[in-house]
Chains A and B, each alone.
Chain A
Amino acid sequence: MDQFLTFGIVGLSTAAIYAVIGSGLVLTYTTTGVFNFAHGAAGMLSAFSYWQLTVGWGWPVPIALAVVLLLLAPAFGLLVERFILRPVQALGEAERLVMTVALLSGLIGVARWIWDPNVARPLPAFFDDRPPFHIGPAAVTWHQAITMAVAVAVAITLRLLLYRTRAGAEMRATVDDRALVGLTGADPVRANKAAWILGTQLAALGGILIAPTVTLDAAQLSLLIVSAYTAAVFGRLRSVPLTFIGAVVIGCTESYLTGYLPQNDYLPGLRLAAPALLLFIALLVFPHRRLRGRDRRLAPVPVPTARGTLVFAAATIAFGVVLASVLGEADLITYGPIFSLGIVALSYVPLTGYAGQISLCQLSMAGIGAVVWAHFGAHGQLWALGLAVLVAAVAGALIALPALRLSGVYLALGTAAFAVVLDRWIFTLPAFHVLGVEVALFDQGSVEVTGPSLFGLRLDSGEELMVLAAVCLALASVLVAALRRGRFGRRLIALRDSEAAYATLGGNLLFAKVLVFSLASGIAGLGGALYGMQQRAITPDQFNLIAGLPLFLVAVIGGLGAVGNGLFTGTALIGPTNALITLAPSLQNPVALLPALAGMGLGKNPDGIAAHFRHQWEPLGRDRIARTALLAWLATAWLLRLGDLIDGWTFLGGALVVAVALRTWASARQAPAAEPEIPVEWWGVRRDWRPEDEEVLARGVAAS
């Protein structure tokens, strides 16, 4: 009984923190319509700042608290509102989501840069010099008591603020009807600012309170928020009181799991994954408003031509062959993922680009593929690669079922929770038996991975694996292009554009969603298996949620509707960053921020830049002379490189310069000779009638 009480106290004090953080989340969501994935990261950054001021620089606690809560947090909230969210406020839900995901990824990068993750940073609890006091048989530390008191104070303050002040009335008005706010004289921008300030302060408060009870680690702290998200989902992202109740449920569940779960090899991970598991369940159980409203804009989905696709596939393979032949063994390991992670990124094209399903667990699916291959393909059996794809596809189908009930932010949250459950629990399990089959995962550490045998040939060197990955990426791109041209691709796009219309035409949503999730996961699984081969050994960390965020961000930036996005994302994610690090090793930390910064650039380029690239390079492909010149140059340089007359960097740099020069020349040659403007009435008289004129006219008439 004493134990029960003690764990209850622990649970309630944790719950208090979740409630504080969760109510901040609800406040920003209801007022601004933005679900802030970086909410926990803001708390994390505040905890680090607080540590720096108190422990690092020895400032007195009250001053440090005041600086963080009253100065830094509000300033940060305002900056985020002004520079990150306002630019995308008018865009769709997906864009706003990407911004906060980029922010999450970026803040973790910043914290790791400023505060070396290899140094331990203990943070003392409040009043830890005083002995705990007793309520009946249970001991309560002062820190716990303060935490609970803070939560109560927050609850009262929020209540007064929302219902007794003008700012609160404005925030609530914004919640009820965005369009009407203007009429009531409330100022939505001011309400947004107030919500961001207050929300960030609540996150900061929670971060500072929770930090002493856990290790100060950027990713861990940012994800502690998962529990706060769950509390907010209890409140359906709208109700502060329900969020408090949710927090109590979660805090106590976690605490009692710690207290009463039997000790064995299988369950410690479950304790770590419990918040994510609860989030998953809460998402499914609590009814929420379907965010059915049509997005103002969706990524365009260009139709690739058969010829263009083949040229692209050939170029991908050629790129792989050239890279494989010019890079050294160490560089091959560094740059190999261009193609394997490119395949994982390609899985976003059908899933998110066509079908509009936002998933944050594609890298986890890659992890499943990798681990299946590692165990079943240990001797290079090719069928094991098929098995890796299959198992990943089945896992994908499993998340598709809950996905049927979720959309938008909820789906993103659900898949993120799934990624966390895999990484913290499933991937850490020791080997076990199901129906007589041994299921081995990461063997609680890392597993060795080898290459496959193809027609009796063992592919195991860096070169061979890179070419293999390039070929697989080319094939997967051809597959996705065929999908786009075919019936299933059309259906995916249709169901995203209007679920209602698709269903009333007789389309089966369940079937289509399950199929696209398994297809995308299968592709990701293939990429993961190849990635594992290139890395030689894999650990769960390589496939966790945080590791997957840059991949998602760069893929979004590339443009989710473009088939070329796999190669683009792989190259953009792996190429420049590693090249920069090679040239200037001290740039390691800032370089890690690039994907996040690119993600935040979305507001400027919402349609993605892969299509833009294609557009820019098309003239080169169409111009026979330029094309031949480029190929000849590449062949010569390649031979020089193979003969060791020039080094790899000269080769790549030279190729880039020549390619850009030829492209510029080709586009200049193709620029149409400026044609004098001829009024439409004179078409076919002053100049020849062209077949396309008819369509131009039809459109003009239709538009009038």
Chain B
Amino acid sequence: MASLRVSGVTVSFGGNRALDGVGMTAEPGRITGLIGPNGAGKSTLFDVATGLRRPSSGRVHLDGRDVTRMRPSARAKCGLARTFQRLELFGRLSVHDNLLVAAELGPERPRAAGVVKEILDRLGLTGLADTAPDTLPTGVGRLVEVGRALALRPKVLLLDEPAAGQDAEETERFAALLRSLADDGTAVVLVEHDMSLVMSVCDDVYVLDLGKVIAVGPPEVIRNDETVLAAYLGDA
């Protein structure tokens, strides 16, 4: 089983450091929360992990292998998958075909159709299989993104605000889904603004502020950490 480890990652936009020597580890079978106020650098860290953005320094390891110089597609072949905060669905393909493209690129491509069917079922999207994703509300669109990532059968799964736009009941079901994924041995990284979800499902939580990790620990510790509270208050 694979783990994701980033260390000392720095990214600058112009003079502005979006990430400043960030390190994080995600272990198989665990759900790692990544929280922080808006603009903290969470999505940028995902971009670095998946290879969409080159860090000016720092390393990314997947399953012990240094993948810092690998292209995004090569990292996907190592079992890394993600969703996007600003939806990146294939707008002209049906929901079903969105997942199919992923399944056909993944390790189970000979039985891609079966994989898609199973995942649509698991996420309760079967009724929407033939819809165009652009017509869906963003909450459902995010679920389709999760499904597409799952169709790759990832070992490391990065989720960027997947539950935004869901109601309480849907969130609960989503939490159960995350738990079952972790139980299957997937390393899950969850970026989320819904604190109750993060605190209830995560095994470890990283707190990012202004490009730096300001706290790491189990939810119950983070919940009562003064610096974390200050970071959020400073933001408000």
Contacts and interface: CB of A to CB of B under 8 A. Distances in A.
A301 B149 CA distance: 24
Given A490-B100, A494-B101, A501 B90 contact: yes
Contacts of B73: 503-509
A491 interface: yes
A161 to B, nearest CB: 28
Nearest to A499: B88
A373 to B, nearest CB: 35
A292 to B, nearest CB: 10
Interface stretch (A75-83, A469-477, A695-703): A695-703
B50 interface: yes
Contacts of B91: 298, 497
B89 A501 contact: yes
B210 interface: no
B72 A497 contact: no
A498 B82 CA distance: 14
Nearest to A704: B137
Interface string B142-158: 00000011001000000
Contact of A505 (B102, B127, B130, B135): B102
- Where chain A touches its partner, the secondary structure class is helix
B88 A505 contact: no
B97 to A, nearest CB: 6
Nearest to A501: B88
B100 A504 contact: no
Nearest to B152: A505
A300 B77 CA distance: 30
A287 to B, nearest CB: 14
Contacts, number: 95
B106 A694 contact: no
Given A494-B98, A504-B72, 8 more contacts: A497-B93, A501-B84, A503-B71, A504-B73, A504-B80, A505-B76, A505-B148, A507-B73
A300 B89 CA distance: 15
A248 interface: no
A695 B137 CA distance: 15
A497 B90 contact: yes
Contacts of B92: 298, 300-301, 493, 496-497, 561
A494 B72 contact: no
Given A503-B73, A506-B76, A494 B90 contact: yes
Contact of A487 (B72, B104, B130, B135): B104
Interface in A209-237: none
Contacts of A501: 84, 88-90, 148
A500 interface: yes
B106 A493 contact: no
Given A493-B90, A506-B106, A702 B52 contact: no
17 contacts: A487-B104, A496-B92, A500-B72, A500-B84, A500-B88, A501-B90, A502-B101, A504-B80, A504-B82, A505-B76, A505-B101, A506-B106, A507-B76, A694-B127, A699-B131, A703-B135, A703-B137
B127 A498 contact: no
B24 to A, nearest CB: 18
A504 B79 CA distance: 10
Q: Which 6 A-B pairs have the closest CB atoms?
A: A506-B76, A698-B127, A501-B88, A498-B88, A503-B72, A497-B90
B140 interface: yes
Interface centre among B74, B88, B130 (most CB of A within 10 A): B88
Given A487-B104, A698-B127, A506 B152 contact: yes
A124 B75 CA distance: 64
Contacts of B101: 490-491, 494, 502, 505, 507
A695 B81 contact: no
A503 B84 CA distance: 13
Contacts of A301: 92
A298 B100 CA distance: 21
Contacts of B84: 500-501
Contacts of B135: 699, 703
B195 interface: no
A301 B102 CA distance: 19
A505 B137 contact: no
A702 B137 contact: yes
Contacts of A490: 93, 97, 100-101, 104
Nearest to A356: B92
B106 A498 contact: no
B222 interface: no
A505 B81 contact: yes
Interface string B57-98: 000000000000001111111001110100011111100011
B229 interface: no
Contacts of B97: 490
B151 to A, nearest CB: 8
Contacts of B77: 506
Nearest to B102: A505
Interface centre among A497, A504, A507 (most CB of B within 10 A): A504
A509 B71 CA distance: 11
Nearest to B93: A493
Interface string A674-704: 0000000000000000000011001100110
Interface in B117-141: 127-128, 130-131, 135-137, 140
A505 B74 CA distance: 9
A655 to B, nearest CB: 36
A69 to B, nearest CB: 41
Contacts of B104: 487, 490-491
B40 to A, nearest CB: 21
Interface centre among A494, A497, A506, A561 (most CB of B within 10 A): A506
B93 A504 contact: no
A301 B104 CA distance: 20
A699 B128 contact: yes
A130 B226 CA distance: 86
B105 interface: yes
Contacts of B81: 504-505
Contacts of B75: 504
Contacts of A500: 52, 72, 84, 88
Contacts of B148: 501, 505
Interface in B146-204: 148-149, 152
A498 B89 contact: yes
Contact of B105 (A300, A507, A702): A507
B114 to A, nearest CB: 15
A407 B92 CA distance: 19
A508 B105 CA distance: 10
A490 B76 CA distance: 18
Nearest to A354: B92
B166 to A, nearest CB: 12
Interface string A467-493: 000000000000000000001001101
B50 A504 contact: yes
A372 B73 CA distance: 37
A698 B128 contact: yes
Nearest to A353: B92
Contacts of B152: 505-506
Contacts of A703: 135-137
B91 to A, nearest CB: 5
Nearest to B76: A506
B57 to A, nearest CB: 21
Interface centre among A300, A491, A494 (most CB of B within 10 A): A494
A680 B72 CA distance: 47
Contacts of B98: 494
Given A298-B91, A500-B52, A505 B128 contact: no
A698 B128 CA distance: 7
Contacts of A698: 127-128
